[in-house]
């Protein structure tokens, strides 16, 4: 029979801890989970392979008063696999402020809540940030429980430099905004890590090849840690052509793009700059031409833009600013 006990670490009004310790099952063995300190526990979960979870994460999920999940159906499968019966509650990008306030109130009462995403580390392209911030502002402890991450998993397998990288998440859906953002990112001195929807992948790779240059090294990873995991490496031009011919793939996609050339000196070869700008101006607006050339050469965009305006005026173009 389960009985109640008083826990001095918990605030008045908080639900009592279970006398019988919670358990989880791993490797065919049931293990007891130690009591969990009150507060918000941010727990990383597998990105595909259910075995990619830590013992600490399992113990945290088992001992929590509730698990806050982006999609309870997805998380329920994970919990059931490891024999965890902790109650599930939905917390996602459409959760209202009142839902967040209720979660914070539960934390104020001394409960231990575990926050998870559908896959990987919460808060990375995930709606958990606002809850974490609210907990911090309320003086509630926030404890990270690290584990799987699609960003890091893709990065270490791509064959691109890992000493410096920039995670962008999803690019804009509209082509114009996507190209402009790629031009901004193209000047960063590190590997770019992007998430992308399968149906937009061919168009995104085509835009990346146009904006950043077809010779830039890249990798497309799909279904990482899952049965049909694939990693395609090549230049942006090669990958763009391949996916244009094959069509959109299926599954979860992470795209990585190698760093561009080192920043060119502002007093570099002016003839080379003019040639690049004239070629770009033949097909693009002044703004887009300047962005493309700046991204490809590593020159400062404001200086490239100023020269593009001069060349456009000299050629009788009228799309420069008044």
Q: Where residue 170 sits, what CATH number does that domain have?
A: 3.30.950.10
**95 shares a domain with 41:** yes
The per-residue pLDDT for 81 is 96
Last-in-domain residue among 230, 257, 284: 257
- 169 close to 196: Cβ distance less than 8 angstroms: no
pLDDT at residue 19 in the model: 61
293 and 280 in contact (C-beta within 8 Å)?
yes
What is the per-residue burial (b if ≥16 Cβ within 10 Å, else e) of 104-132?
bebbbebbbbbbbbbbbbbbbebebeebb
The answer to whether residue 74 is domain-embedded is: yes
Q: Are residues 171 and 182 in the same domain?
A: yes
Residues 130 and 184 grouped into a single domain: no
Domain annotation covers residue 52:
yes
Q: pLDDT truncated to tens, each residue of the chain (322 aa)?
A: 333 333 444 444 445 555 678 999 998 899 999 999 999 999 999 999 999 999 999 999 999 999 999 999 999 999 999 999 999 999 988 888 899 999 999 999 999 999 999 999 998 877 789 999 999 999 999 999 999 999 999 999 999 999 999 999 999 999 989 998 998 898 788 999 999 999 999 999 999 999 998 999 999 999 999 999 999 999 999 999 999 999 999 999 999 999 876 544 444 678 788 888 888 888 888 888 888 888 777 677 788 888 888 888 887 766 644 3
Q: Is 137 found in the same domain as 35?
A: yes
- DSSP 8-state secondary structure symbol assigned to residue 216: S
Query: What pLDDT was estimated at residue 301?
Result: 78
Indicate whether 87 and 119 sit together in one domain: yes
179 plus 197 within the same structural domain: yes
CA distances from 285 to 291, 293, 312 (A): 10, 12, 9
Residue with tokens 């959109």: 248
180 within domain boundaries? yes
Same domain, 199 and 214: yes
Phi, psi of 4 (to 5 degrees): -100, 155
Are 160 and 251 in a shared domain? yes
CATH number at residue 124: 3.40.1010.10
The per-residue pLDDT for 318 is 60
Instruction: Collapse the DSSP code of 185 into the 3-class scheme (helix H, G, I; strand E, B; otherwise coil) and give the result.
Output: helix
Query: Which pLDDT does position 174 carry in this prediction?
Result: 94
Cβ-based burial of 277 (10 A; exposed 0-12, middle 13-18, buried ≥19): buried
- The pLDDT of residue 295 is 75
Residues 6+ apart with CB under 8 A from 208: 182, 216, 218, 236, 240, 255, 257
Q: Do 175 and 69 belong to one domain?
A: no
Residues 60 and 117 in one domain: yes
Indicate whether 143 belongs to any domain. Answer: yes
**Domain span including residue 213:** 151-257
Of 148, 182, 211, the last residue of a domain is 148
The predicted pLDDT at position 12 comes to: 47
Residue 3 lies in a domain: no
What pLDDT score was predicted for residue 187? 79
Which CA distances in Å does 208 have to 149, 156, 296, 302? Answer: 24, 21, 11, 21
Q: Are 39 and 139 within one domain?
A: yes
**225 inside domain:** yes
Which candidate, 80, 74, 77, 163, places its Cα nearest to that of 126? 74
pLDDT for position 261: 63
Q: Which of 148, 181, 204 is the last residue before a domain boundary?
A: 148
Residue 284 is predicted with a pLDDT of: 84
Q: Do 162 and 82 lie in a common domain?
A: no
Number of H helices, E strands in the chain: 11, 12
- pLDDT at residue 157, rounded to an integer: 96
Number of domains in the chain: 3
Q: Which pLDDT belongs to residue 4?
A: 36
């Amino acid at each position: 029979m389960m009985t109640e006990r008083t826990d001095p670490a918990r605030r008045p009004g908080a639900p009592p801890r279970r006398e019988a310790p919670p358990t989880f099952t791993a490797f065919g063995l049931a293990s007891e989970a130690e009591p969990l300190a009150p507060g918000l526990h941010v727990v990383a979960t597998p990105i595909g392979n259910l075995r990619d979870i830590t013992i600490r994460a399992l113990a945290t999920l088992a001992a929590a008063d509730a698990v806050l999940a982006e999609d309870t159906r997805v998380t329920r499968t994970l919990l059931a696999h490891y024999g965890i019966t902790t109650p599930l509650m939905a917390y996602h990008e459409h959760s209202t402020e009142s839902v967040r306030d209720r979660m914070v109130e539960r934390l104020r009462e001394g409960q231990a809540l575990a926050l998870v995403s559908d896959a990987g580390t919460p808060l990375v392209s995930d709606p958990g940030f606002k809850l974490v911030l609210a907990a911090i502002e309320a003086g509630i402890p926030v404890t990270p429980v690290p584990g799987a991450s699609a960003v890091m998993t893709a990065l270490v397998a791509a064959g691109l430099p890992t000493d410096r990288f920039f995670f962008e998440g999803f690019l804009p859906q509209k082509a114009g905004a996507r190209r402009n953002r790629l031009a901004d990112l193209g000047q960063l001195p590190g590997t770019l890590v992007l998430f992308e929807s399968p149906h937009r992948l061919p168009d995104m790779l085509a835009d990346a090849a146009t904006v950043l240059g077809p010779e830039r090294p890249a990798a497309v990873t799909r279904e990482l840690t899952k049965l049909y995991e694939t990693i395609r490496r090549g230049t942006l031009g090669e990958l763009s052509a391949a996916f244009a011919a094959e069509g959109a793939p299926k599954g979860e996609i992470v795209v990585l793009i190698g760093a561009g050339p080192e920043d060119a000196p502002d007093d570099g070869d002016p003839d080379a700059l003019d040639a690049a700008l004239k070629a770009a101006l033949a097909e693009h607006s002044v703004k887009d031409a300047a962005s493309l050339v700046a991204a490809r050469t590593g020159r400062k965009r404001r200086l490239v833009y100023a020269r593009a305006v001069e060349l456009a005026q000299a050629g009788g173009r009228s799309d420069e600013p008044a």
